[in-house]
Amino acid sequence: MITIIGAGLGGLTLARVLHVHGIASVVYEADASPAARTQGGQLDIHEHNGQVALREAGLLEEFRAIIHAGAEATRVVAPDGGVLLDQPDDGSGQRPEVLRGDLRRILLDSLPAGTVRWGHKVTTIRALGAGRHEVTFADGSTTATGLLVGADGAWSRVRPLVSAAQPVYYGTSFVETYLHDADERHSAPAKLVGEGSMMATVPGQGIMAHREAGGVLHTYVSLTRPLEWFAGKDLTTDVAAEFAGWAPELTALITDGETAPVLRPVHALPEGHRWERVAGVTLLGDAAHLSPPNGEGANLAMLDGAELGRAIAAHPSSPEAALTAYEEALFPRVAEEAAESARDFDICFGDRTPQSLLELFAAG
């Protein structure tokens, strides 16, 4: 039995692709249930990675049914509210938007009952020899496995089996807020955001918002500050004060938030992170290659899951051959993606924004 730690998009994609190939797996997840916490906002699922994974999983039709039509529209806005760029969604884009929770749901629904074991938080993992590992959970239960996959995110409990690397703070944090019934109750920011995504950035700070289904505006406020700066700060009033003089329809995305603001510090693993082959264990997604956000993270995690599932299916009698093949393809791919992620983050939030951002969109 293949053991997967983490029921995020990457781990579930792996479980689904294995199931398509007739291979059983068990996914252990710390959350008590699928509804234990919110799953975040919209994701743009890219043709060359996320959609490839969904094709391998046999879920393209289900995916198409949850697409938020029109959400690929993009705006870049100046601090005074002036529109610098306005690209409508004309239907020709290759990055359709879906809610993360909806995408997770179709993956969960595609798995046999009992595949995901909820309420299993990993506390320790012990090597048993010959590629086998014993996983202990917070409730005292254990499981032993000959193939262990860490799909458990940035602070992976599986990663230390193969690597001493730990995520480090990238220098920027986001504050997440929501507005509901935006067109009726928050018409000015809703009009400025438009039908898709809106970015208003200057060096060191920015306000980014995305229109989600049902009139929801989902906002991330970025500040390049030491992590200690946020200690003791009010994430509404103190953060809004950093945007004094910005257009009120922009700052309303902070001050009028209808959910408790959440601090999201950006962390990253070393660029080009890799490890020596360790028998019986591997990583995928953020556990393997956490990078600053650029819209690729979920896509890459799903592609990892699909590629690993395909490698296991191609080497049914040799798990080590499967893991070797997977990692040999993984490492150069994610090194290139990590470098691109760093470049993209600088374009969006570095010293030349918003000009660098406008140049990016102009280049297509």
Please give the structure tokens belonging to residue 72.
Answer: 């690929």
Q: Which residue segments constitute the domains of the chain, with CATH numbers given?
A: 2-67+99-167+269-349 (3.50.50.60), 168-268 (3.30.9.30)
HSE of 87, CA atoms in CB hemisphere, 13 A: 16
Among all chains, which residue has been given the structure tokens 């700060």? 233
The CA-based angle 206-207-208, given to 5 degrees, is 115
What pLDDT is stored for residue 70 in this prediction? 76
Predicted confidence pLDDT, tens digits, the chain (364 residues): 899 999 999 999 999 999 999 999 999 999 999 988 776 778 889 999 999 999 999 999 999 999 888 788 999 999 999 999 999 987 766 788 899 999 999 999 999 999 999 999 999 999 999 999 999 999 999 999 999 999 999 999 999 999 999 999 999 999 999 999 999 999 999 999 999 999 999 999 999 999 998 899 999 999 999 999 999 999 999 999 999 999 999 999 999 999 999 999 999 999 999 999 999 999 999 999 999 998 788 999 999 999 999 999 999 999 999 999 999 999 999 999 999 999 999 999 999 999 999 998 888 6
Specify the pTM: 0.96
What pLDDT is stored for residue 92 in this prediction? 66
The arrangement of strands across the sheet holding 122-129 comes to 122-129, 132-137, 142-145
